[in-house]
């Protein structure tokens, strides 16, 4: 009985050992195959297990209409992307994950923003990755200073440029396309609607928005693009004549409309312009009560000079403009102003001919006197020479 028990124990041990050898052999056969397969895949250590999806994978969900998400504030964010608009946008060659780098799988990470505006403020800094130059300019702009000061409603990149529908706005040389130029006032109107309403009725705004005339100035021509400065500062006020002069001294543009290009020269030559120019050069931050262009012509509501109600060609209108600084001005006061024209046979003839007379008369008188003095000196020298020779 004892021998049978020992034999049974040995049988079990040998059986288990044999089974273990079989398993080990099978594992050894499998491992080389698996290793060879892994080597043939040539995985890079930098590639993560979950690869970023391509745009078609994202649009499989995000192209569905009515797709939204909500914030704790109760506001709703649309998540639907129109692929046809995106395909025609300036960002058409980008992958979704180029901007949304934190999203590579589903479900997506939960949004941390509490409001819709918080979400925009978290996302707009992504623009810096591709548009560093423009982004850096905005940091010193009036908008970014407002954001830094706690005004979260001030404009940021995505308020002007929708990343999913932003059209191409420049040509290959970097020049602004005419179609893009026409859209600028409407973009600014999203925040500055009251100013847009005034601009649209002005001589500039009506030409741009109603006639499609791209010769006239739009918002960015006066205020800049990404580096918009504060227009309420003394420095901006003193520099404003130079802003207006960018167009009004352009011979090519002004000749189309029969407008004098001497506006800057005639302004700088008079008392008002001379004083403003001195302030700009010497103390640009100091205030001056001397008028600049927009004190007489208006800011966003500039009218044609021949407008019967507001035009400065009308004597009663220019008198009202003068009285803002000269309350005692009478009806003859504006007659001293020559409307930015240099006197000529066609403009202010009397002044022109008086100037012409003195341009001839003064050199003639001085020249005659010089001839008389020189001839007298020559005569005296000759007489002195003759007197010396007789001695």
pLDDT reading at 18 higher than 80: no
Same domain, 65 and 115: yes
Confirm whether 30 is domain-assigned.
no
Confirm whether 334 is domain-assigned.
yes
Confirm whether 47 is domain-assigned.
no
257-304: pLDDT as tens digits: 988 898 899 998 888 888 998 898 888 888 888 999 999 999 999 999
pLDDT reading at 15 higher than 70: no
Confidence of residue 206 (pLDDT cuts 50, 70, 90): very high
Same domain, 134 and 219: no
Confirm whether 10 is domain-assigned.
no
How far is 294 from 310, CA to CA, in rounded Å?
Answer: 13
Mean pLDDT along residues 166-173: 94
Same domain, 255 and 310: yes
Confirm whether 238 is domain-assigned.
no
Confidence of residue 21 (pLDDT cuts 50, 70, 90): very low
Same domain, 177 and 124: no
Mean pLDDT along residues 299-310: 90
Cα end-to-end distance, the chain, whole Å = 180
Confirm whether 46 is domain-assigned.
no
User: Chain-centre distance of CA 101, in angstroms?
Assistant: 28
Confidence of residue 125 (pLDDT cuts 50, 70, 90): very high
Confirm whether 391 is domain-assigned.
no
Which pLDDT belongs to residue 27? Answer: 39
* Total structural domains within the chain: 4
User: What string of H, E and C letters represents the secondary structure of the chain?
Assistant: CHHHHHHHHHHHHHHHHHHHHHHHHHHHHHHHHHHHHHHHHCCCCCCCCCCCCCHHHHHHHHCCCCCEEECCCCCEEECCCCHHHHHCCCCCCCCHHHHCCCCCCCCCCCCCCCCHHHHHHHHHHHHHHCCHHHHHHHCCCHHHHHHHCCCCCCCCHHHHCCCCCCCCCECCCCCECHHHHHHHHHHHHCCCHHHHHHHHCCHHHHHHHCCCCCCCCCHHHHHCCCCCCCCCCHHHHHHHHHHHHHHHCCHHHHHHHCCCCCHHHHHHHCHHHHHHHHHHHHCCCCCCCCCCHHHHHCCCCCCCCCCCCCCCCCHHHHHHHHHCCCCCCCCCHHHHCCCCCCCCCCCCHHHHHHHHHHHHHHHHHHHHHHHHHHHHHHHHHHHHHHHHHHC
Which pLDDT belongs to residue 391? Answer: 58
pLDDT reading at 321 higher than 80: yes
Same domain, 153 and 192: no
- Long-range contacts of the stretch 203-207 (C-beta < 8 A, 24+): 203/302, 203/303, 203/304, 203/307, 204/302, 205/300
pLDDT reading at 242 higher than 90: yes
Same domain, 263 and 327: yes
Which pLDDT belongs to residue 7? Answer: 39
Same domain, 79 and 124: yes
In this prediction, what percent of the chain has a pLDDT beyond 70?
Answer: 86
84-109: pLDDT as tens digits: 999 999 999 999 999 998 888 888 99
In this prediction, what percent of the chain has a pLDDT beyond 90?
Answer: 62
CB of 143 closer than 8 Å to CB of 156: yes
Confidence of residue 146 (pLDDT cuts 50, 70, 90): very high
Same domain, 140 and 78: yes
Same domain, 156 and 72: yes
Q: Chain-wide mean pLDDT for the chain?
A: 85
How far is 251 from 245, CA to CA, in rounded Å?
Answer: 11
Confirm whether 235 is domain-assigned.
no
Confidence of residue 389 (pLDDT cuts 50, 70, 90): low
Domain containing residue 186: 170-228
Same domain, 265 and 286: yes
42-63: pLDDT as tens digits: 333 343 445 667 899 999 999 9
CB of 234 closer than 8 Å to CB of 289: no
Same domain, 255 and 331: yes
Same domain, 164 and 178: no
């Amino acid at each position: 009985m004892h021998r049978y028990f020992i034999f049974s124990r040995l049988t079990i041990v040998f059986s288990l050992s044999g089974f273990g050898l079989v398993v080990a052999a099978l594992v050894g056969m499998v491992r080389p195959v698996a290793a060879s397969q892994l080597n043939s895949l040539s995985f890079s250590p930098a590639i993560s297990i979950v690869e970023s999806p391509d745009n078609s994978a994202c649009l499989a969900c995000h192209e569905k209409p009515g797709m939204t998400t909500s914030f704790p504030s109760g506001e709703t964010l649309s998540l639907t992307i129109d692929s046809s608009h995106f395909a025609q946008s300036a960002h058409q060659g980008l992958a979704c994950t180029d901007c949304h780098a934190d999203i590579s799988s589903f479900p997506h990470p939960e949004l941390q923003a509490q409001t819709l505006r918080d979400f925009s403020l978290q996302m707009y800094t992504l623009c810096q990755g591709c548009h560093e130059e423009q982004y850096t300019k905005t940091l010193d702009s009036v908008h970014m200073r407002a954001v830094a000061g706690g005004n979260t409603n001030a404009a940021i990149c995505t308020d002007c440029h929708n990343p999913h529908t932003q059209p191409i706005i420049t040509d290959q040389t970097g020049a602004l396309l005419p179609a893009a130029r026409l859209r600028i006032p409407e973009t600014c109107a999203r925040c500055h609607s009251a100013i847009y309403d005034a601009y649209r009725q002005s001589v500039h705004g009506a030409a741009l928005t109603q006639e499609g005339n791209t010769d006239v100035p739009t918002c960015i021509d006066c205020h800049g693009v990404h580096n918009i400065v504060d227009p309420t500062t003394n420095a901006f006020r003193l520099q404003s004549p130079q802003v207006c002069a960018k167009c009004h001294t352009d011979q090519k543009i002004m000749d189309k409309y029969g407008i004098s290009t001497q506006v800057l020269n005639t302004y700088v030559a008079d008392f008002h312009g001379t004083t403003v120019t001195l302030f700009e050069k010497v103390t640009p931050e100091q205030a001056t009560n001397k008028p600049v262009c927009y004190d007489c012509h208006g800011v966003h509501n500039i009218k044609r000079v021949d407008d019967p109600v507001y035009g400065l060609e009308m004597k009663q209108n220019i008198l009202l403009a003068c009285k803002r600084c000269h309350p005692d001005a009478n009806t003859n006061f504006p007659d001293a102003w020559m409307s930015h024209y240099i006197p000529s046979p066609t403009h202010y003839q009397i002044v022109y001919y008086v100037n012409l007379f003195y341009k001839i008369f003064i050199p003639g008188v001085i020249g005659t006197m010089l001839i008389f003095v020189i001839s007298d000196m020559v005569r005296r020298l000759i007489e002195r020479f003759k007197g010396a020779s007789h001695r």
